[in-house]
Copies of this chain bind each other. A is one copy, B any other.
Amino acid sequence: MGSYAMTGGATGIGAAIKQSLRNAGHNVVVADIKDADILGDLSNPEGREKAIAAFREHCADGLDGLITCAGVAQQMKDHAIIASLNYFGSIAMVEGLEDLLAKNNGNVVLISSNSAPMCGSPDFVDALLGNDEELARKLAADISGHDAYSGSKQAVARWMKHNCAALAAKGIRINAVAPGYIETPMTQAVADDPEYGDAIKQFVASIPLGRPGQPEDIANLVDFVLSDKGSFICGALLYIDGGHDAMMRNDAF
């Protein structure tokens, strides 16, 4: 069966994807800060380098896929961590494992968010896309947690599209999913936060479909995109949010 690398597989969406891949018989190597094959902190360059080296050792024969789920939400007080983990913690993995992915015509799925369009800080997104981690961390400190989170997820989506054609030329197919509100430990921390809790509860109540998502909803979509049945899907940002984005941006396409 296939060989997969994942970040953030300990809880939430990542854990559901990991479980689904393992249930299908795949070998999945996970990097996370706890309960993982590779223990480490992807929010700093040294931690990322160590994780990449460990992935390269575990998966030396090639990678069939990479799914980057490690991320923190807007209630994280140190916004620089949001920038470093959510964006650089994803992108660095793709870059650091590109040759192993090319070897097996691998698939990459990045986790973006349906909040990607909500970021009110274009300079912050530009710093991320410009690969300037120092500037991005500095700018993150001066914007809201919500702008830091949504901006990190917007940059993930745009990086994916910027690099899609070059990766495809190497035999690597890349896509991103944009979940809405999913019930996970990460979003529970936001719902419990004194600053963001009320807004999040109102947000959840306004989901057109009438329910929040479950980690398995995202795992099902990721499974499909990774499979041969999804093999013409490339460069897509796939919203899966119970209708929230359509409601809020009904002329976007």
Contacts and interface: CB of A to CB of B under 8 A. Distances in A.
Interface of A: 112, 116-117, 154, 157-158, 160-162, 164-165, 168-169, 173, 178, 180, 208-211, 213-214, 217-218, 220-221, 224, 229-247, 249-253
Nearest to A164: B246
B241 A232 contact: yes
Contacts of A209: 168, 173, 232, 234
Identical subunits present: 2
Given A165-B243, A234-B242, A235-B241, 4 more contacts: A117-B253, A160-B246, A168-B210, A236-B239
A249 B158 CA distance: 10
Contact of A240 (B211, B232, B239, B240): B232
B236 A246 contact: yes
Contacts of A210: 168
Contact of A241 (B116, B224, B234): B234
A169 B208 contact: yes
Determine chain A's interface SS by DSSP, over half rule.
Answer: mixed
B221 A237 contact: no
Contact of A253 (B221, B237, B246): B237
A250 B161 contact: yes
Given A157-B253, A253-B154, A246 B234 contact: yes
A154 B253 CA distance: 7
Contact of A208 (B162, B165, B243): B165
- 7 closest A-B pairs (Cβ-Cβ)? A235-B246, A217-B232, A168-B208, A234-B243, A235-B243, A161-B246, A220-B229
A112 to B, nearest CB: 8
A51 B134 CA distance: 61
A126 B253 CA distance: 15
Contacts of A180: 232
Contacts of A178: 253
Nearest to A239: B236
Nearest to A182: B232
A126 to B, nearest CB: 11
A221 B234 contact: no
Nearest to A235: B246
A176 to B, nearest CB: 9
Contacts of A250: 158, 161-162, 164
